[in-house]
Amino acid sequence: MKKTLFSSITCATLLTSVLMAPVANAAKVDYSSMTSKELANKVLSLSDKQINSQHQSLESAIANLSDEDFDSFIHDLVMGNHGDDEDLSEKLKPLGVELDTHKNDRIGPLAIEAGDLNFSVSSAKRTGESFYRLIASWSPSISEFYPATYDLMSIEWDPAVGQYYSSNVGSTKYATARDGSKRDQGVYMFNVHDYQIGFGSYAAVYVTKKANKTLEYGAKYVHTYDTVTWSSNFEANFSYAKTGPTGGLTFSFSPSKTEKSWQVWDDGALQW
């Protein structure tokens, strides 16, 4: 009887192991073939427990993204996150990613038919990189029906603390680098092509540590619209102003006679 009972337990144990083996193997997923957007959506969809169990595969996939794709990954994470910003930052830590972001879900006042615009500036860094990324992201809920000049967007930082390293835009269809001549003074300018349908995108500036202090950084977005007729496809006029909120330069928009505008500012503080 004891022998029969032992055999039954042994068979049950072996059967359980066989049944559980495929499940364990199925848990190991290869994320390397995913695009940056697919990878961002996957990270957002996973629970903290799933993130921890898959952190090696996910961290490897993130580490292998190009600089441009990693910027896009951060942009898609920030714009697609409907939860708490701090929770997202904590979720990314096991994946070798430092992220600080504070998304503005609604801004105003609203321009003519401009609708809402989600706007955020974030700092991000992958394990092993010598520089941080300052990434400004924007996403409109509807298209602009009365565009004037291109919208203007700046990424600004304290040049005494952070040294300019490089820059990048998400898509030249939606944004272009406008002026980097004052990058040593802590500001980089971009055009945003708001006449394009669904002009949401991002721009990034990379900075390296220059001083052992907190880096103040931010981004300013100026939306322009026409009060008389539809027009677009030319650059807005601006001039550089003296020291801005971060300690570097900022800019002032110079509208044409028929233009109006509103602006929004978002900022953060980076602990090196």
User: Mind listing the pLDDT tens digit for each residue in 18-59?
Assistant: 444 444 444 568 899 999 999 999 999 999 999 999 999 999
Q: Give the pLDDT band (50/70/90) at residue 237.
A: confident
Average pLDDT over residues 149-156: 91
Most confident of 10-19, 51-60, 225-234: 51-60
Task: Quote the pLDDT of residue 116.
Answer: 64
* DSSP at 20: H
Q: In Å, how far are 10, 14, 15, 17, 49 from 7, measured between CA atoms?
A: 5, 11, 12, 15, 36
Handedness of CA 240, 242, 244, 246 (dihedral sign): positive
CB under 8 Å to 190, separation ≥6 — which residues? 136, 152, 153, 154, 155, 169, 175, 176, 177, 178, 203
> How far apart, in whole angstroms, are the C-alpha atoms of residue 225 and residue 145?
9
What are phi and psi for residue 254, nearest 5 degrees?
-115, 100
> How far apart, in whole angstroms, are the C-alpha atoms of residue 143 and residue 195?
8
Handedness of CA 243, 123, 235, 160 (dihedral sign): positive
CB under 8 Å to 230, separation ≥6 — which residues? 145, 146, 147
Q: Give the pLDDT band (50/70/90) at residue 114.
A: very low
Portions of the chain given CATH number 2.60.40: 102-272
Look at residue 261 and give its three-state secondary structure. Answer: strand
Q: Give the pLDDT band (50/70/90) at residue 111.
A: very low
Q: Which CATH class is domain 102-272?
A: mainly beta
CA proximity to 122, closest of 210, 179, 202:
202
Look at residue 123 and give its three-state secondary structure. Answer: strand
Query: Bigger pLDDT: 214 or 149?
Result: 214
Residue type, 138: W
Query: Bigger pLDDT: 59 or 114?
Result: 59
C-beta pairs of 250-254 under 8 Å, 24+ apart in sequence:
250/154, 250/156, 250/187, 250/220, 251/152, 251/154, 251/187, 251/189, 251/220, 253/152, 253/222, 253/224
Q: Give the pLDDT band (50/70/90) at residue 9.
A: very low
Q: How many CA atoms lie within 13 A of 5 on its CB side?
A: 2
What are the pLDDT digits (tens) for 154-180?
999 999 999 999 999 998 999 999 999
Q: What are 140's two structure tokens?
A: 């409109």
Q: Which residues pair with 201 in a beta bridge?
A: 138
Q: Give the pLDDT band (50/70/90) at residue 148.
A: confident
C-beta pairs of 5-12 under 8 Å, 24+ apart in sequence:
none
Residue type, 91: K
User: What is the pTM assigned to this prediction?
Assistant: 0.80
**Considering the chain, what is the average pLDDT of its residues?**
83
Task: Quote the pLDDT of residue 223.
Answer: 83
CB under 8 Å to 51, separation ≥6 — which residues? 43, 58, 91, 94, 95
Q: Give the pLDDT band (50/70/90) at residue 103.
A: low
Residue 52's CB is within 10 A of a number of other CB atoms, namely 13
Task: Quote the pLDDT of residue 110.
Answer: 38
